[in-house]
Amino acid sequence: MPAKQTSEKAKSSQVFGQARKPAKMFRAGLYARVSTNDQQTIPLQMRALREYTARRGWTIALQVKEVGSGASERQLREKLLDAARRREIDVVLVWRLDLWGRSVADLLSTLQELDHLGVGFVSLTEALDLTTPAGRAMAGLLAVFAEFEREILRERVRAGLAHARQNGKKLGRPVTAATKAGEVQALHRAGISKAEIARRLQIGRTSVRRILE
């Protein structure tokens, strides 16, 4: 009698619509960020990030929760980047791209650094997984948008400078007091007061005193 063969269909979680493949035990760093007026969504983000990490079979090495406003500096984000530089995490998980990057250029810069360090990056909302070929192709598109953003900023700067020149505004760095030391000493020898020297040369009184001392 042939031996009874039993087969059980393997249950595999779907990740971004694709069957999960066996992978090494990655150490994940989770990053959640909210605005000052929207702090109640932190638990929602962290729960989704933890659930995704569990489905991938990864371990959580670091969790960062940051509260800020607008495009302000992501100071706590540096904890994750430092952990990546120390090779303490293998992948970074975020809820949404704009929560991680202040701008397209900033986003691309950090993603390029993570890629150079061999650290993956996953954004749940955009279903972006830079550990896959499709995700890396998306990173290439981000590079195009980042260059477009930089070009727009350059155009705005050039337009602003041209407008300032048309209105007679002097451009460039302000003259430092050290470059006017000779004039300060000459005026002082001529009996001009320190306050008047500062006014004429448009430098601070403290700078005048330091030069004369």
Q: Which of 35, 69, 72, 193 is catalytic?
A: 35
DSSP string covering 50-119, please? HHHHHHHT-EEEEEEEEEE-TT---TTHHHHHHHHHTT--SEEEES-HHHH-SSHHHHHHHHHHHHHHT-
Closest CA to 170 of 202, 207, 204: 202
Q: What does R_g of the chain's alpha carbons equal in angstroms?
A: 29
| Residue 35 a catalytic site member | yes
End-to-end CA separation in angstroms for the chain:
110
The catalytic residues are: 35
